[in-house]
Amino acid sequence: MVTTTPTPQGTLTGNVLFYSNPEPLAKELHSKMGVKRMDGPFAFAKVGHAVPLTVGEFPLAMVTGPIIFVGDEKLPIAVMGLNAGENMFVKDDGTFEAGIYIPAYIRRYPFVFANDENAKQMVLCIDRGAEFVTDTDYDMGFFEPNGEPTEYTKNCIEFCNNFEIERQRTMGFVQLLKDLDLFETKEATFTPPGLDGTPGETQKIAEYFGVSEKKLNALPPAKFVELRDNGALGQIYAHMHSLVGWDRLIALAMTRASEQPAPVLNS
């Protein structure tokens, strides 16, 4: 389900973006289940206008749209649409527009790690609500006849393990920005043209957290060099440069709106 603020991973409770029916993957439950190949496997992501992002993805994601931080935890997300529940880059056939970076959060679906509070460990879950998860005519099963995970499942486990490592690294990156007090509240705005061509009333599209260029430039030289040497500075600049993507999203929305057929008025 879509949440206004995407939910951090690591829990089986609450709303987690895209996952409608997650359950721990187990041979007792899923030995005769698997996934079927689909020409358009990303239809589920059409409702994801704000998708969680890991810090290592910033340089790739910055060319698609804004990278912003939201909520008390300052969760980094890739903005992929201006309206809640509408990913502007997923086509009706379940494929992404050409040249769009697909976040790892989307690519790992229908798998997800979650915390088992009782066992105090991470467990791998599968979304039984996924369109391509089935118990009939599947192309890639979850388990071998002997109960061992298939090569497909092993690869998915490795992907999720790597994602979890990157998620932890992202938390450390965000904490670093918090410790240096680099965040500030930002707004994305749009000034539509009036009927006479003059600028109309400015509209606020979004409010979010971002790195303050003023605060960044005011850091002591030694701290600035430290950010450069540990790689954080490059990620910060990727975030800051990505914010021009608001203009791209606005232009795309206006273009699509202009292509809509005019309503037919009854006489």
| pLDDT tens by residue, 111-134 | 998 877 666 678 899 999 999 999
d(CA 73, CA 208): 12
| Two structure tokens written together for 245 | 């993507």
Question: Could you give the 3-state DSSP secondary structure of residue 262?
Answer: coil
On whether residue 2 sits in a domain, the answer given is no
Rounded distance between C-alpha atoms, residue 54 and residue 167, angstroms = 6
| Closest C-alpha among 59, 75, 76 to residue 67 | 76
Q: Which domain holds residue 183?
A: 22-255
**Average predicted confidence (pLDDT) for the chain:** 88
Domain annotation covers residue 12: no
The answer to the question of residue 266 being in a domain is: no
Mean pLDDT of 34-52: 95
Q: Is 264 within the bounds of a domain?
A: no
pLDDT over threshold 50, residue 4: no
**According to the model, what pLDDT value does residue 5 have?**
35
Asked if the structure places residue 267 within a domain, the reply is no
- Look at residue 261 and tell me if it is in a domain: no
Query: For the chain, what is the domain count?
Result: 1
Asked whether residue 104 carries a pLDDT value surpassing 90, the answer given is yes
- Residue tagged 């040497």 (tokens): 229
pLDDT attached to residue 14: 42
Rounded CA gap, 125 and 116, in Å? 11
Q: Give residue-wise pLDDT tens across range 132-160.
A: 999 999 999 999 999 999 999 999 999 99
Question: How long a stretch of residues is the chain?
Answer: 267
Residue 1, pLDDT above cutoff 60: no
Of the pLDDT bands very low, low, confident and very high (cuts 50, 70, 90), residue 3 is very low
- For residue 191, what pLDDT is reported? 80
Range name among 59-68, 125-134, 195-204, 240-249 with the lowest pLDDT average: 195-204
Q: Identify whether 7 is part of a domain.
A: no
Residue 103 lies in a domain: yes
Does the pLDDT at position 195 exceed 90? no
